[in-house]
Amino acid sequence: MGRRARDRRRQQQQQQRQERGEDGGGGDQAVRAGPGGTGRGGEGRGGGRRRRRADGAGMFQGWAGGYPEIVKENELFERYYRELGIVPDGEWGDFMAALREPLPATLRITGYRSHAREILHCLKEKYFRELQHLEVDGQKIEMPQSLSWYPEELAWHTNLSRKILRKSPQLEKFHQFLVSETECGNISRQEAVSMIPPLLLNVNPHHKILDMCAAPGSKTAQLIEMLHADMNDPFPKGFVIANDVDNKRCYLLVHQAKRLNSPCIMVVNHDASSIPNLQIDVDGRKEVLFYDRILCDVPCSGDGTMRKNIDVWKKWTTQNSLQLHGLQLRIATRGVEQLAEGGRMVYSTCSLNPIENEAVIASLLEKSQGALELADVSSELPGLKRMPGITKWKVMLKDGQWFEEWKDVPSNRQTQIRPTMFPVKDEEKLKAMNLERCLRILPHHQNTGGFFVAVLIKKSPMPWNKSQPKVHQKLPQRTGDAEVTAINSDNGSEPITEEPTLDENEESKKKQELQNSDTEQSKKEGVCGPPPSKKMKLFGFKEDPFVFLPEDDPLFLPIQKFYALDPSFPKMNLLTRTQEGKKRQLYMVSKELRNVLLNNSEKMKVINTGIKVWSRNSDGEQFGCAFRLAQEGIYTLYPFIHARIINVCIEDVKILLTQENPFLSKFSSETQKKVKDMATGSIVLKYDPDPAKPDDLQCPIVLCGWQGKTSLRAFVPKNERLHYLRMMGVEVFKAKRKEEESQNKTGEEVQHRLAQTEEGMDVEDKEHDLVTKMEAEIGEKSSHSPVENSAMEVENKIEDLDQSGRNANSHVIQESKDTDTSNMKD
């Protein structure tokens, strides 16, 4: 059925309801009338569309009457937290008032890129100043304020709600800036309290990090930034393994991580409570991989998110916490098992409930028998207002019945309530736990959401793992050493080393060789496919294998020669996603992640890793190299490239970013001289700031480009172009607005942002085809002065390319829901 037919049908249904005397303007009848309507406000699509279209006929005024307002009251919630006393005396009224207010918008500037200061300068001097003395719907807009506890003024909050930002014409310019910079990865719109756990991990670039429950990925992005604190090091020794149990949310996680263009991130899909032990090769021996830092941001009831997830007001009961406690404890236990000695694990929830917080930490500390301790972080993040953890609490059922001790729980309730939910009764043990070192963030103290954080330090192996040495197994070519008998990872145990006898060695040698033959062959070929084990249930899409380029691959030699790659270039870290046929894309990972991939392909389901550094060019072979540079990986590749680099001035950069295919005559004489003797093909365009010109952009820029016979252009995604133009003071807002008007997109179409994929023909491929055609046309015509394209025309063309590139790919699933409101964690 076409759109017009659906509209006619809706109009007929509306008329029939009017004839029957139904009022479509509000109330429950209007809600029930929509096909997607429900008894609580018509959340389905049908009801919403009907109300909007009817508004055009003058029958409705916007969304008024369509969604009955949720009453922000919950008697059981108030009774429970009053009794527990987590809110200081005299502050209960402020606490409840804050929960009923909408959550302020917060944003974070990504800190690992060298131009973070330029973005901050642009925000403060341009966009924030324009908000001064501005009123929207009679409400005065407060100037955004930096979060006092976040380092280097890289996090800000404002009283602007999402609704005001999206709908107000006065704020359209600021909103477009936020959207564009977010898609580039330069800004992350993230709740303030969600920024705390990564900061308390104290990450260094050499740390091996596990994010156990990572989706949707805002905290993971912070961890990646910290790894790349030194931008002069393209391959830090550390890495992030980001895990999530939900296959679809893993692709959302990939989309978030891809914005940061790091070769040190790997996304995997496992149940965090039984995530397998991984092994790495260390000097010819296999060792179990222990992580220096673990982020354990577990699933929770989310009653700290009431300000943005207002459904929690109606749905909250103590039953949610009772059901989640066991899962949270299992995930935290698995986390500390995989933590290295001296390592740090941060446990966090967006819940205020001690059953999900202190009870989990107390149980973990008790069974660790001194192997774990709570870190004192009171001196970290100065300026952050926090409450200490509590040592006494009670357990309540959803019917309001309280229990103070496990012995008071009747037998018919002991499946709902477990002993680990109660506080420790031994006063000496309780004092030694130092539960007051936990921190609870209350909403009314700094106008945030509610949150809980505990920082654990591992001093020695867990009691049930003490027999396990660090070195487990030598590689197969060495014999006579200890072998590992792996216990099923589902039970949360770690491998235990056994010393086989000579007879056992002789008898099992052939069996072991047969079992490992396929695996070792795959490792030799550099192929890392999905786990073949029948014991592991794999959901979602079957992922393509990760195939590392062999040393003697003839594909690499022309690339190395064309770009004059440095001898230190780690070519062994290059991989593709295809075993057969032409390799369309080349990706790169760090040496450490390559080690993880090659030694664990049977154990884990890898969703994504690596950044694209080269892309096959359909006509590239005639220019000397079949692969052109990809903008995603240019900052990683640039230190190794010694040829085909053109240094350009800031005026040249503006031309490259605002004109589609500018002729060489448009550029400065210095640039023309450099290009004159250079062969056609992919190039690097480098801008270095001039300290003598402080008004110019003061951060370096590296762009991928293409040199033609008579022209020079940049291969840069649309939002990244707009980002650089803003940093150089070029106004792009008007062009953006005209583009949106000309495309006449509906609000629903704008909300569905599809993630770019790494397989198939991407945007840059299509841009290059366009360039090739234009080059052919230019070669036939005389080189008269071309008509300059405006920034708006550049955006229009690239937007068309973006859309066609997205339609051509189906590798990545992008969730259509708003990530901030659909997720309880961030």
Instruction: Give pLDDT tens digits for 526-558.
Output: 666 544 443 444 455 667 788 999 888 888 999
Q: Looking at residues 253-277, what average pLDDT do you find? A: 93
* The pLDDT of residue 247 is above 50: yes
Q: How many helices and strands (H and E) does the chain possess?
A: 29, 33
pLDDT reported for residue 86: 95
pLDDT band with cut points at 50, 70 and 90 for residue 164: confident
Residue partners of 780: CB distance under 8 A and separation at least 6: none
Mean pLDDT of 634-643: 94
N-terminal to C-terminal alpha carbon distance within the chain: 39
Is residue 613 pLDDT above 60, yes or no? Answer: yes
- Mean pLDDT of all residues in 242-268: 93
Closest among 725, 614, 756, 560 to 181, alpha carbons compared: 725
Per-residue confidence at 160, pLDDT binned at 50, 70, 90?
A: confident
pLDDT at 305 exceeding the cut of 60? yes
Across 745-762, average pLDDT? 40
For position 817, what pLDDT does the model report? 37
> What confidence score (pLDDT) does residue 501 get?
38
pTM of the model: 0.76
Q: What are the structural domain ranges in the chain?
A: 3-56, 102-188, 644-807
> Is 244 marked within a binding site?
yes
Please choose, from the candidates 454, 320, 463, 469, the residue with its C-alpha nearest in 3D space to the C-alpha of residue 386: 454
Quote the pLDDT of residue 825.
52
Q: Region 95-123: what's the mean pLDDT?
A: 85
Task: Please report, for residues 556, 561, 636, 641, the alpha-carbon distance to residue 626 in angstroms, rounded to integers and kept in the order given.
Answer: 10, 12, 20, 17
Q: Residue 590 pLDDT > 80, yes or no?
A: yes
Residue 699 annotated in active site:
no
Q: What is the CA radius of gyration of the chain?
A: 29
Task: Say if residue 54's pLDDT is above 70.
Answer: no
Burial bucket for residue 94 (CB in 10 Å: 0-12, 13-18, 19+)? middle
Predicted confidence at residue 295, as pLDDT, reads 98
**Tens digit of each residue's pLDDT (9 = 90 or more) over 770-794:** 444 444 443 433 333 333 333 334 3
Residue 218 annotated as binding site: yes
**Cβ-contact 239, 208 below 8 angstroms:** yes
Least Cα distance to 702 among 640, 791, 631 occurs for 631
Q: What is the mean pLDDT of residues 412-436?
A: 94
Helix 763-780 × helix 791-807 angle, to 10°: 130
Which residue in the list 122, 250, 264, 350 is annotated as catalytic? Answer: 350
- pLDDT surpassing 70 at residue 447: yes
| Three-state secondary structure call for residue 776 | helix
Taking Cα atoms as reference points, which of 470, 456, 467 lies closest to residue 372? 456
Residues 377, 25: Cα–Cα separation, whole Å = 55
Report how far residue 709's alpha carbon sits from residue 779's, in angstroms, rounded to the nearest whole number: 8
User: Tokens representing 405?
Assistant: 């001790």
CA separation for the pair 50, 60 (Å, rounded): 10
The tokens describing 425, both together, are 């009764």
Residue 315: how many other CB atoms lie within 10 Å: 12
Distance (Å, whole) CA 264 – CA 205:
10
Q: Binding residue per annotation — 214?
A: yes
* Predicted local confidence at residue 528, as pLDDT: 60
Bridge partners of 627, per DSSP, are 616
What is the spatial order of strands in the sheet that 585-588 belongs to?
Answer: 527-528, 546-548, 574-576, 585-588, 611-616, 627-629
What is the phi/psi pair of residue 770, to 5°? -60, -40
Q: Whose structure tokens read 């403060």? A: 124
Q: Does residue 313 contact residue 263 with C-beta atoms inside 8 Å?
A: no
Mean pLDDT of 449-470: 84
Overall average pLDDT of the 4-13 stretch: 71
* Whether the predicted pLDDT of 809 surpasses 50: no
Measured between alpha carbons, how far is 270 from 274 in angstroms, rounded to an integer? 8
Least confident window among 129-133, 195-199, 736-740: 736-740
User: If you average pLDDT over every residue of the chain, what do you get?
Assistant: 78
Per-residue pLDDT at 98 = 96
What distances in angstroms separate CA 450 from CA 308, 439, 442, 815, 819, one per listed residue?
A: 11, 11, 5, 26, 18
DSSP class of residue 26 equals: S
Residue with tokens 């341009």: 126
Residue with the larger pLDDT of the pair 521 and 437: 437
pLDDT at 567: 94
Tokens of 185: 């990865």
With a CB cutoff of 8 Å and minimum separation 6, the contacts of 746 are none
Residue 685: phi, psi to the nearest 5? -110, 115
285: part of which helix (H) or strand (E)?
Answer: strand 285-288
Pick the more confident residue, 501 or 307: 307
Q: Name the pLDDT band for 520 (thresholds 50, 70, 90).
A: low
Q: Is the dihedral of CA 39, 40, 41, 44 positive or negative?
A: negative
In this structure, the chain runs to a length of 826
How far is 399 from 397, CA to CA, in rounded Å? Answer: 5
213 marked as part of a ligand binding site: yes
